[in-house]
A and B are shown apart, each in its own frame.
Chain A
Amino acid sequence: MLRKYSSFRSLSDNIKLGSLTAFSAGMVNVISVIAFFAFTSNVTGHYAILAQEIAKGNWYQAAIVFVWISLFFLGNFASNLMIIHNNKQEDRYKAHALPLAVEILCLLGVGLYMQFYYSETLQETETLVAILLFAMGLQNGLTASISNSAVKTTHLTGLTTDLGILFSMFTKKEFRSDKALLDKARLLLCIMVSYMTGGIISGVIYYELNSMAFFVVCFVLCIVMFYDYYHLKVTKGKGSSAGLVHEQLTGATLEAQKGNI
Chain B
Amino acid sequence: MKFIYITYVLFVLLAVSFGSVLLSGESSQELLVGKWQEVSWEYEKVDKHNGAEFELNEAQINEICNQLVIHQSEIWEFAPSNKLHLHNKESGFSEVLDWNVKGRGHILELKHQDSRLEGYQVQEISEDNLVIHFNFDLRVRGIVKLTFKKISEQQYAQKI
Residues of B within 8 Å of A61, CB to CB, are: 28, 104-106
Across the interface, A38 reaches (CB within 8 A) one of B11, B100, B104, namely: B104
> Is B54's CB within 8 Å of the partner chain A?
no
> Is A47's CB within 8 Å of the partner chain B?
no
B111: nearest chain-A partner, CB-CB: A120
> Is B25's CB within 8 Å of the partner chain A?
yes
CA distance A126 to B100 in the complex (A): 13
Taking the closest CB of chain B, its distance from the CB of A86, in whole angstroms, is 22
Asked whether A121 lies within 8 Å of B82 as measured between CB atoms, the reply is yes
Q: Please judge, given known A-B contacts A59-B25, A60-B27, A122-B28, whether A37 and B103 are in contact too, CB under 8 Å.
A: yes
Count the A-B residue pairs with Cβ separation under 8 angstroms: how many?
Answer: 65
Residues of A within 8 Å of B109, CB to CB, are: 120
Asked whether B105 lies within 8 Å of A121 as measured between CB atoms, the reply is no
> Is A250's CB within 8 Å of the partner chain B?
no
Asked whether B105 lies within 8 Å of A122 as measured between CB atoms, the reply is yes
Interface size range on A against B:
20 to 34
Q: Please judge, given known A-B contacts A59-B21, A70-B15, A121-B82, whether A64 and B29 are in contact too, CB under 8 Å.
A: no
> Is A67's CB within 8 Å of the partner chain B?
yes
Residues of B within 8 Å of A59, CB to CB, are: 21, 25
Asked whether B101 lies within 8 Å of A122 as measured between CB atoms, the reply is yes
CA distance A48 to B107 in the complex (A): 18
Asked whether A36 lies within 8 Å of B100 as measured between CB atoms, the reply is no
Residues of B within 8 Å of A62, CB to CB, are: 18, 21
19 contacts across the A-B interface (CB closer than 8 A): A37-B106, A38-B102, A38-B103, A49-B104, A59-B25, A61-B28, A61-B104, A61-B106, A63-B21, A63-B25, A66-B15, A67-B22, A68-B104, A120-B102, A120-B109, A121-B29, A121-B100, A125-B102, A125-B103
Known: A62-B21, A119-B82. 11 other contacts (CB 8 A): A37-B103, A53-B104, A59-B21, A61-B28, A61-B105, A64-B22, A64-B104, A67-B22, A68-B104, A120-B109, A121-B29
